[in-house]
Structure 1
């Protein structure tokens, strides 16, 4: 997982996936809710970070849509 990644995001992803490789895959793969870009790309902007955190919150509550 990217060492420069926000601590909150790292922690929440590890709680969800419990596997560094799965976290890395999730971060690198494009997501429709992000307009087809990867979470890593989205995290380059403040608005993108908000959107990534929203997706993580949805996963944490069992909403995989």
Structure 2
């Protein structure tokens, strides 16, 4: 996974997917809740980390909408 990626995001994604390839795929594919950009692109913006963490929390709690 990307060495520049935030440690908290890495840990939480690995807990969800338990596979680096799946984490990488999730990070690189566009997401509607992020306005159609990928989580990696969202992380380049000031508010991006909060939005990505919100998506991860939703997955962790079973909300896949």
The TM-score range, normalised by the shorter chain, is over 0.9
The CA RMSD over aligned residues, in Å, is: 0.5
In structure 1, the residue matched to 2:23 is 23
Unaligned stretches of 5+ residues in structure 2: none
Residue in structure 2 matched with residue 56 of structure 1 by the alignment? 56
Q: Which runs of 5+ in 1 are unaligned?
A: none
Q: Provide runs of 4+ in structure 1 moved above 6 Å.
A: none
CA distance in 2, matches of 1:17, 1:3: 18
Encode CA deviations 1:6-34: one digit per residue, 9 max, x unaligned. Answer: 00000000000000000000000000000
Aligned length: 65
Q: TM-score under structure 1 normalisation?
A: 0.98
Q: Distance in 2 between matches of 1:50 and 1:8?
A: 12
User: Counterpart of 1:2 in 2: which secondary structure?
Assistant: coil
